[in-house]
Amino acid sequence: MRKVLLAGAALLGGSVSLANAQTPTNPMQGQYVAPTGGAGNTSNNNNAWGIANTPSGSAAAGPLSTMRAPNTYAVPTPGTLVIHMNARVEADFGANWTTADKGTNANGTPNGYKVAPMGVASDIRLYWGADGVAANGLRYGAAIEAWQNFYGGTNYNAGINAGGLNASGSGNTSGQTIFVRKEFVYLASDKVGVFRLGGAEGVIGLLDPCIFSSQCWDAGMGTLNGGGPNALAPQGAMGIPWVWASQSGAEYATNKIAYLSPQVYGFDFAFSYAPSKGNLFADQSGSTPIQPGVCNQAGPNCLAVTSGNDSSRWINATAAGLRYQHTFGAVDFKAFGLYEISGKESLSTTAYLTPAQARTAPGIAGLTSLRYNNLGFFQGGVAITYSNFTYAIDYMGGQVDGQLSLNPEGGVSQNAVVTGLTYVNGPWTAGAMIESVDTQGDARLVGVSQRHELGIAVGGNYKLAPGLAVVAEYQYMQRHQGGFDFNQGTLGRTVDGRGQGIETALVMNW
Residues 248-291 pLDDT 10s: 999 999 999 999 988 888 899 999 999 999 888 888 776 555 55
- Residue type at 182 in one-letter notation: K
pLDDT for residue 156? 55
Would you tell me how many other CB atoms lie within 10 Å of the CB of residue 124? 15
CATH class of 36-509: mainly beta
Please choose, from the candidates 278, 281, 290, 282, the residue with its C-alpha nearest in 3D space to the C-alpha of residue 254.
Answer: 278
pLDDT tens-digit profile of 483-507? 999 999 999 999 999 999 999 999 9
pLDDT for residue 220? 86
Measure Cα distances from 432 to 129, 157, 219 in Å. 32, 42, 13
Is the pLDDT score of 203 beyond 70? yes
CB 207 within 8 A of CB 201: no
The pLDDT-based confidence of 440 (bands split at 50, 70, 90) is very high
pLDDT for residue 164? 57
Task: Compare 277 and 52 and report the one with higher pLDDT.
Answer: 277
Q: What is the mean pLDDT of residues 222-232?
A: 88
CB 210 within 8 A of CB 52: no
Is the pLDDT score of 15 beyond 50? no
pLDDT for residue 49? 47
CB 37 within 8 A of CB 74: yes
d(CA 485, CA 60): 48
Q: What are phi and psi of 294, to 5 degrees?
A: -75, 150
pLDDT for residue 37? 55
Is the pLDDT score of 215 beyond 80? yes
Is the pLDDT score of 5 beyond 90? no
Compute the mean pLDDT over every residue in the chain, rounded to the nearest whole number: 84
Q: What is the mean pLDDT of residues 233-237?
A: 91
pLDDT tens-digit profile of 297-327? 998 888 889 999 999 999 999 999 999 988 8
pLDDT tens-digit profile of 343-374? 999 999 999 999 999 999 988 889 999 999 99
Collapsing DSSP to helix, strand or coil, 281 comes out as: helix
The pLDDT-based confidence of 340 (bands split at 50, 70, 90) is very high
CB 451 within 8 A of CB 436: no
Task: Compare 218 and 15 and report the one with higher pLDDT.
Answer: 218
Measure Cα distances from 282 to 109, 287, 288, 344 in Å. 42, 11, 11, 19
d(CA 381, CA 14): 30
Is the pLDDT score of 175 beyond 50? yes
d(CA 11, CA 299): 47
CB 95 within 8 A of CB 118: yes
Q: What residues does 477 pair with on adjacent strands?
A: 455, 499
Is the pLDDT score of 1 beyond 50? no
Is the pLDDT score of 411 beyond 50? yes
Please choose, from the candidates 402, 410, 420, the residue with its C-alpha nearest in 3D space to the C-alpha of residue 448.
Answer: 410
Is the pLDDT score of 74 beyond 80? no
